[in-house]
Amino acid sequence: MRNLCLSRENCLPRRVGLTLGVSSRPGLQWSVANCLLCTMLLCMTLLCTMTGCGQSRLPAPTPDSEAAIALRASLASDSAGGAGGSEVVSTGTGWGTLTGRFVFVGSPPAAKQLIVDKDTAVCTAEGRKLFDQSLQVDEATGGLANVVVFARKVSRVKEREMPEEPLVFDQKVCEFLTPVFAARVGQPIDVRNSDPIGHNTNVSGTSFNQLIPAGEGTLFTPARETGMPTMVTCNIHPWMKAYAVFREDGYVAVTAADGSFTIPDLPAGEEVELQVWHERSTGPNGALAADMPELDWSSKGRFTVTLEADGTTDIGEVQIPASAVGS
């Protein structure tokens, strides 16, 4: 090392160092460390040029080009082919009612306080605080509210009349009064605003993003069913959040404060698959999984049950552990 240009004024590492500003005066005696540093800098620059400083991105899958060409040919020809097992064959008769109760195991984490920075004269009047309502557990019964249960695909739908009165979805003191609500496709919903200030209700996934003046309401009729529940927000007051689910067949329920739900008029005598959802669930797309193998409860939050005709089938208490629900 000592022999590395300690006295040489024009040596390459020193010239690099001067360019990089490592050493200022050419006349200065160079230390070994300086020389090493310049050498290393030079090497690293070259190495970086070669390898590049790429962040590791997720590896993208390569499409199978030959299979793509074959598929293209088969799609172009008019060969039918089924839609892949989406038809459900009816094997039973009659209609039954499904009930159950969701229970939260343990004590829920404290609800976070929402940041309210608009219209504080109305929203936080008299020191009122607004809290996140995504996890509502009943103190007395341990029931988990606002769990959505709906039938995925049914073979037959009982003819029921659409309710005459529109479903009321209201907002007051800068909060949606119903954190999760369900409706049938085609059922009119009266979106109301009981505040002295204006709100706009934005139902994502639909065309509804409407200004609602103070004290008034607007009718909204969902035209399509949502898959899993969709978010409802207010753009003027961004902390406001609710969820809505619309189903064609109307076989949907939201658990009450004590965690219980009822879905009447489901097809009886055959297997019916139901999907379960909760806003805070850590499962895919909010699916809520429970440990109930007797109901074939899958990790996608689905369970299967066969109902008895003209009776009530109770799936009992479904225990939801704290780990299934995010913080």
Partner 1 sequence: MTHFLPFLVTAMNRHSTFMCRNRFSLSPVALVLTVCGSLLFVSGCGKTPAASFRPNMVEAAKQRLKPEQEEQVATILEAMFGTPDNPIAMPETGLDIGKLRLAAGPVHSDIVGRKNGLFREHCSHCHGVTGDGMGPTAAFLNPYPRDYRPGWFKFKSTERADKPTHGDLVTILNNGIYGTSMPSFELLGEAKVDALVEYVKYLSMRGEAELNMMRYFFELDDEDEGKLPETRDFLVEEILLPVAERWQEAEDAVIEVPEMPEVDLAESIAMGKELFYGNKANCVKCHGVTALGDGQANDYDDWNKVVKQWSDEVQSSHEVSTKEMSREEKAEHREYLARADKALAGDALEPRTIQPRNLRQAIYRGGRRPIDFYYRIHAGINGAPMPAAAGTLTPDEIWHVVNYIRSLPYEFDGELGADRSMVARDRL
Footprint of partner 1 on residues 118-157 (CB under 8 A)?
A: 118-119
Give yes or no for residue 218 binding partner 1 (CB under 8 A). yes
Alpha carbons 221 and 282: distance in angstroms, whole number: 31
Q: Among 280, 266, 222, 214, which Cα is nearest to 247's?
A: 222
Determine the interface stretch with partner 1 among 1-9, 141-149, 248-256, 308-316 (rule: CB under 8 A): 1-9
Q: What token pair was written down for 91?
A: 């094997």
CB 174 within 8 A of CB 116: yes
| Cα dihedral value 124, 129, 130, 133, nearest 10 | -160
Cβ atoms within 10 Å, residue 153:
11
Give yes or no for residue 110 binding partner 1 (CB under 8 A). no
Least spacing, CB of residue 326 vs partner 1, in Å: 4
Cβ atoms within 10 Å, residue 132:
15
Alpha carbons 118 and 124: distance in angstroms, whole number: 9
Least spacing, CB of residue 233 vs partner 1, in Å: 9
Torsion sign, CA atoms 65, 70, 74, 76: positive
Least spacing, CB of residue 25 vs partner 1, in Å: 19
Least spacing, CB of residue 159 vs partner 1, in Å: 26
Give yes or no for residue 87 binding partner 1 (CB under 8 A). no
Give yes or no for residue 82 binding partner 1 (CB under 8 A). yes
Find the helix or strand (DSSP H, E) in which 230 lies: strand 230-234
- State residue 322 phi and psi, 5-degree precision: -65, -25
Nearer to partner 1, 264 or 326 (CB): 326
Footprint of partner 1 on residues 285-324 (CB under 8 A)?
A: 285, 287, 298, 300, 321-323
Binding residue for partner 1, selected from 135, 149, 212, 272, defined by CB under 8 A: 212
Give yes or no for residue 85 binding partner 1 (CB under 8 A). yes
3-state SS class at 122: helix
Least spacing, CB of residue 1 vs partner 1, in Å: 9
Q: What token pair was written down for 127?
A: 């020191």
Least spacing, CB of residue 311 vs partner 1, in Å: 27
> How many residues sit in the footprint of partner 1 (CB under 8 A)?
78
Alpha carbons 234 and 238: distance in angstroms, whole number: 6
- Kindly write out the interface string for residues 237-276 of this chain, putting x where it contacts partner 1 by CB under 8 A and - elsewhere: -x--------------------------------------
Q: What token pair was written down for 282?
A: 């850590």
Footprint of partner 1 on residues 18-47 (CB under 8 A)?
A: 39, 42-43, 46-47
Least spacing, CB of residue 101 vs partner 1, in Å: 21
Footprint of partner 1 on residues 49-68 (CB under 8 A)?
A: 49-51, 55-58, 60-65, 67-68
Nearer to partner 1, 82 or 161 (CB): 82
Q: What token pair was written down for 255?
A: 């658990």
Alpha carbons 17 and 47: distance in angstroms, whole number: 18
Least spacing, CB of residue 125 vs partner 1, in Å: 17
